[in-house]
């Protein structure tokens, strides 16, 4: 039986990088987590242990820090594109680089109502993300937000689903709808105003979640994605992952109390997980291989 090396990649995962711009008395902090992954002609190290083609993961990590000094990090998409291009251009046996960057937000602490020059509080769990793939001359940018925790206390129903002998869920015309949203959108090829687009996508996602009367989380998912694609020409497709953070009405009848949709048990797990892609019908002719933009390795 012949055995061969399948798809592979390697890199440094989760480099924690913080930069401080000290150009003036008002400091600016950039806090990111960077993962690099390189692919290419890497048979030699796997098959023989000859490391002549291996850009050490330690070197990859150092490159992240050096790049952050040589030029301001700027938008995470631009930083990832610079890093990815460097690895592919610098090393002939490296054919693809995949750079993931998550940005952690810091808010200025207000002192007597005035934003402080150099003191910050963490913005919360929400993060802006990007996944850049550089393959030869081509690049793909998939950006997103994750950890966006949302809740609406009414305006959500769920009924009409099939009932079999295992079904116990009550139909409802008024429930809490809550989620911790992850959205990732693939840009059409080209340079875009990454920050402005991200801000607008986030606004659209929130406004649609708030205003769309929901008959299912699936319907809400589609409405959110559709609204983004209608508003932002530069986005080819958007993928959404919406855990259904169930809020169960507590039975207060043992205590002689009526629960008028006011007291809930917020369950931790299990949770429904609703995921989907919203895309343009005629595809994105600019992207020859959109799959490359998304995947890690099939096996992982």
Ligand X SMILES: O=c1[nH]c(=O)c2[nH]c(=O)[nH]c2[nH]1
The footprint of ligand X (CB under 6 A) covers 158, 169, 216-218, 244, 272
175 a known binding residue?
yes
CB of residue 297 vs ligand X: minimum separation in angstroms?
30
Q: Is 133 a catalytic residue?
A: no
| Nearest residue (CB) to ligand X, 166 versus 255 | 166
108 Cβ contact list (under 8 Å, min separation 6): 115, 116, 119, 120
The CA distance from 174 to 196, in Å, is 35
Distance CA 251, CA 259 (A): 7
Q: Is 218 annotated as a binding residue?
A: yes
In the complex, what is the shortest distance from the CB of residue 217 to ligand X, in angstroms, rounded to a whole number? 3
The nearer residue to ligand X, 60 or 179, going by C-beta atoms, is 179
Smallest gap from residue 216 Cβ to ligand X (A): 4
| Minimum CB distance to ligand X smaller for 120 or for 222 | 222
All residues at 6 or more sequence positions from 192 whose CB lies less than 8 Å from its CB, including other chains = 141, 234
- Of 33, 57, 59, 146, the active-site residue reads 57
**Distance (Å, whole) CA 60 – CA 269:** 38
Nearer to ligand X, 272 or 283 (CB): 272
168 tagged catalytic: no
Instruction: Say whether 246 is catalytic.
Output: yes
What's the closest the beta carbon of residue 215 comes to ligand X, in angstroms? 8
Catalytic residues, by residue number, are 12, 57, 246
Q: Which residues contribute to the annotated binding site for urate?
A: 57-58, 158, 175, 218, 244
Q: Which residues contribute to the annotated binding site for 5-hydroxyisourate?
A: 57, 158, 175, 218, 244
């Amino acid at each position: 039986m012949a055995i061969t090396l399948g798809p592979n990649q390697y890199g440094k995962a989760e480099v924690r990088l913080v930069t401080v711009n000290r150009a003036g008395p008002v400091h600016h902090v950039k806090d990111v987590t960077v993962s690099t992954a390189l692919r290419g002609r890497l048979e030699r190290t796997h098959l023989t242990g000859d490391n002549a083609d291996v850009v050490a993961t330690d070197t990859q990590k150092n490159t992240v820090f050096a790049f952050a000094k040589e030029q301001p990090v700027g938008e995470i998409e631009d930083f990832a594109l610079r890093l990815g291009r460097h690895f592919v251009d610098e090393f002939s046996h490296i054919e693809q680089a995949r750079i993931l960057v998550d940005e952690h937000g810091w808010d200025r602490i207000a002192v007597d109502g005035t934003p402080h020059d150099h003191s910050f509080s963490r913005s919360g769990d929400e993060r802006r993300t990007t996944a850049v793939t550089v393959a030869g001359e081509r690049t793909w940018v998939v950006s997103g937000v994750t950890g966006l925790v949302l809740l609406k206390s009414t305006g959500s129903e769920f009924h009409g689903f099939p009932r079999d002998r295992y079904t116990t869920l009550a139909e409802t015309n008024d429930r809490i709808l809550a989620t911790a949203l992850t959205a990732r959108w693939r840009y059409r090829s080209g340079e875009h105003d990454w920050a402005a687009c991200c801000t607008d996508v986030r606004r659209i996602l929130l406004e649609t979640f708030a205003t769309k009367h929901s008959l299912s989380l699936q319907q809400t998912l589609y409405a959110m994605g559709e609204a983004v694609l209608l508003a932002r020409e530069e986005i080819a497709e958007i993928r959404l992952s919406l855990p259904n953070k169930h809020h169960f009405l507590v039975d207060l009848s043992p205590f002689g109390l009526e629960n008028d949709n006011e007291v809930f048990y917020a369950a931790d797990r299990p949770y429904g997980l609703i995921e989907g892609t919203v895309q343009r019908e005629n595809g994105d002719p600019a992207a020859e291989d959109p799959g490359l933009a998304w995947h890690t390795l099939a096996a992982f």
